[in-house]
Amino acid sequence: MNWGGGGRKLMPDNSAMKQQKLPAHQLHFSARVVLTIFFATGVFCFCMGVILILSAQSIQEIEVCPILLYLFFWYWGLNPGGDVYMYYKLYGFYQNHYRYVLSRSNNQLVGKDIMVRDVEDCAPFKVSQNKTPIAPCGAIANSMFNDTIILSYTLKSSVHIQVPMLKTELTWWTDKYVKFQNPSLINLSDRFVGTEKPPYWQAPIYELDTSDPGNNGFLNDDFIVWMRTAAFPTFKKLYRRLYRVQYFMDGLPAGNYSFNISYNFPVTRIKGEKSVVLSTLTWSGGSSLFLGLAYTVTGAFLWLASFALMAIHMTMKKKKLSYRR
């Protein structure tokens, strides 16, 4: 007997791993486990759905379509309370178009490569006709939304107060402080010497906000918001947020409001529409009525499934019993 010696050189190891005998748990869908899982998940989903729907109810949103008039009145019946955000909403603007999304230079926007030397992505909005580089380059920047929307509150029959709005902190923090950087903060216009404004623009990048010099260049909030390309052809983008002072400490009070919109951004060419949205936020972020409904419906389906399983289980049991007899 060659125990251990040369006799059994090729004998496989007798380890649990190699013999495929690792301690294992059989995943088996037994009636009890399945029913429990279905029921529990169903209950959870249903509850979650109800909560979400309720919370969605508390969101107040109003959409105004400035089709004919750039100035009109309407009556705001409820006091929304808390923060109010003003969005502009575009219909049928494909910000997610492949070539459009590509048409930007992140290096330029971060302030490193103002002259857009190394990236081709921006073409044909990379250089102007006289070969000077465009800042900011690319189609996204070129097509920036440039309407001005002014919301007015009719305090008395003839007194219109412009609702105070903030145009900062509209963006992600990281966008403002990491992804978008001006070449230098002091004397912005100098830094953009040698560049040209995009062809559709009326003012150069360093004159986007004449009222606030800090909100200019690549750091302009409207610009940053626009540069974050929307996922769907119909989208809204944050335009202003309510500055809660005076009459507007608790949001927008009930009353008559009017919009004064300077029409700059063409939408007829894109066969689209634009509108203004005023909205409040809830804990779950934006509107979540769908999520609530989806949760409720899924929960209902789970219950249905568990009831069906139970019914099948019962009949089978009966059958088995009768078969045994």
Q: Which stretch binds other proteins (CB under 8 A): 14-22, 74-82, 210-218, 248-256?
A: 14-22
B/e letters for 100-114, b = 16+ CB within 10 Å, e = fewer, are bebbbbeebbebebb
**Cβ distance to other proteins smaller for residue 97 or 184:** 97
Site for other proteins in 48-77 (CB under 8 A): 48, 52
Query: Which string of DSSP letters, residue by residue, matches 291-303?
Result: HHHHHHHHHHHHH
**Cβ distance to other proteins smaller for residue 4 or 77:** 4
The answer to whether 289 touches 51, Cβ cutoff 8 Å, is no
Q: Which stretch binds other proteins (CB under 8 A): 150-158, 160-168, 240-248, 291-299?
A: 291-299
Is residue 167 part of the contact set for other proteins (CB under 8 A)?
A: no
Q: Which of 144, 141, 139 is nearest to 109 (CA)?
A: 141
Considering CB under 8 A, how many residues would be counted as binding other proteins?
A: 97
Q: Figure out which of the listed residues 167, 237, 241, 244 binds other proteins, where binding follows CB under 8 A.
A: 237
Q: Figure out which of the listed residues 283, 322, 323, 324 binds other proteins, where binding follows CB under 8 A.
A: 283
Is residue 270 part of the contact set for other proteins (CB under 8 A)?
A: yes
Is residue 269 part of the contact set for other proteins (CB under 8 A)?
A: yes
Site for other proteins in 102-141 (CB under 8 A): 102-107, 110, 112, 119-121, 123-126, 139
Q: Figure out which of the listed residues 263, 290, 311, 314 binds other proteins, where binding follows CB under 8 A.
A: 290
**How many angstroms separate the CA atoms of 120 and 113, rounded?**
13
At residue 324, what is the residue type? R
At residue 234, what is the residue type? T
Q: CA distances (Å), 3 to each of 6, 14, 16, 257, in order? A: 8, 15, 22, 97
- Which helix (H) or strand (E) is 160 found in, with range? strand 160-162
Site for other proteins in 80-99 (CB under 8 A): 87, 89, 93-99
Give the number of residues written for the chain.
325
**Cβ distance to other proteins smaller for residue 46 or 192:** 46
